[in-house]
Amino acid sequence: MKKYSFILLFFLILLIGCSDKSKSKQNVTSTKDSLSSYLSLANDTRIPFELKQKYNQKAFEIIINQEDDSINKVNLFKIANRYFNMNDWKGYFETSKLILERSKNSNDTVNSAKAYTYLGDYYGAKNISDSAFYNYFKAEKLYLNLNDNYNLAKTRISKANLQYYENDYFNSEIAVFKALRALKGENANDLLYESYNLLGILYNEREEHGKALEFHNKALTSIDDKSIPVEFQSKATSLNNMGYVYLNLKNYKQAKSYFEKGLEERNLFVDKPKLYAMLLDNLAYAKFKLNESNELPEQFYRALKIRDSLQLSSGVIINKIHLSEYFAYKNDTLRAVQYAKQALALSRSTNRLRSVLETLKQMGTVDPKNVSLYSKEYILINDRLLKAERKMGEKFSRIEYETDEIKVENIHLEDKNKQLLFVFGGLAILAVLLYIIKAQKTKQRELLFIQQQQQANTDIYNLLISQQNTIEINSIKEKKRVAQELHDGVLGRMFGVRINLDSLNKITDDSGVEKRLNYLIELKNIEQDIREISHNLNREKSELINNFVAIVTNLFEEQKKTYKSRFIFSIDPAIKWDLIDNAIKINLYRILQESLQNCNKYALASTIQVEIEKQDMDLTLKIIDNGIGFNVNRAKKGIGLENIKSRTKECKGTLDLKSKKEEGTSITIIVPIEQIQKTTTK
- pLDDT tens for residues 576-628? 887 887 778 888 888 888 888 888 888 888 899 999 998 888 889 999 999 88
Mean pLDDT of 173-194: 88
Question: According to the model, what pLDDT value does residue 21 have?
Answer: 47
Is residue 220's pLDDT more than 80? yes
Q: How far apart are CA 82 and CA 88, in angstroms?
A: 8
Cβ count near 5 (within 10 Å): 9
Q: How far apart are CA 237 and CA 194, in angstroms?
A: 11
Q: How far apart are CA 656 and CA 669, in angstroms?
A: 6
Q: Is the CB of residue 360 less than 8 Å from the CB of residue 345? A: no
657 pairs with which residues across the strands? 667
DSSP for 549-618, written as a single string = HHHHHHHHHHHHHH--SEEEEEE-TT--GGGS-HHHHHHHHHHHHHHHHHIIIII--SEEEEEEEEETTE
- CA distances for 282 relative to 216, 300, 339, 463, angstroms: 17, 9, 17, 121
- pLDDT tens for residues 282-321? 999 999 999 988 888 999 999 999 999 988 888 899 999 9
Question: According to the model, what pLDDT value does residue 391 have?
Answer: 61
* 475 Cβ contact partners less than 8 Å away, ≥ 6 residues apart: 540
* Selection from 671, 659, 508, 677 nearest residue 581 by Cα: 677
Confidence of residue 10 (pLDDT cuts 50, 70, 90): very low
Cα 373 from chain centroid (whole Å): 68
Cα 603 from chain centroid (whole Å): 47
Cβ count near 34 (within 10 Å): 13
Residues of 15-29 as b/e, b for ≥16 C-beta within 10 angstroms?
eeeeeeeeeeeeeee
Question: According to the model, what pLDDT value does residue 132 have?
Answer: 87
Q: How far apart are CA 249 and CA 243, in angstroms?
A: 10
Q: How far apart are CA 342 and CA 366, in angstroms?
A: 13
* 448 Cβ contact partners less than 8 Å away, ≥ 6 residues apart: none
Q: What is the mean pLDDT of the chain?
A: 80
Q: How far apart are CA 676 and CA 672, in angstroms?
A: 7
Spans of all domains in the chain: 395-543, 547-681
Question: According to the model, what pLDDT value does residue 536 have?
Answer: 59
- pLDDT tens for residues 350-399? 877 777 878 888 888 888 888 788 777 777 777 776 666 566 555 556 66
Cα 513 from chain centroid (whole Å): 109
* Selection from 536, 564, 671, 560 nearest residue 616 by Cα: 671
Backbone angles phi, psi at 668, to 5 degrees: -120, 120
* 345 Cβ contact partners less than 8 Å away, ≥ 6 residues apart: none
Question: According to the model, what pLDDT value does residue 25 have?
Answer: 46
* 459 Cβ contact partners less than 8 Å away, ≥ 6 residues apart: none
Q: How far apart are CA 403 and CA 139, in angstroms?
A: 12
- pLDDT tens for residues 663-677? 899 999 999 876 455
Peptide bond into 273 cis (omega under 30): no
Mean pLDDT of 204-216: 90
- CATH number for the 547-681 domain, one of 3.30.460.80, 3.30.1360.70, 3.30.565.10, 3.90.1150.10? 3.30.565.10
Look at strands 566-571 and 607-615 and give their pairing. Answer: parallel
- pLDDT tens for residues 133-171? 889 888 888 998 989 898 988 899 998 888 888 778 888
Among positive and negative, which fits the CA dihedral 16, 22, 23, 28? Answer: positive
Q: How far apart are CA 539 and CA 46, in angstroms?
A: 110
Question: According to the model, what pLDDT value does residue 596 have?
Answer: 87
Question: According to the model, what pLDDT value does residue 3 have?
Answer: 39
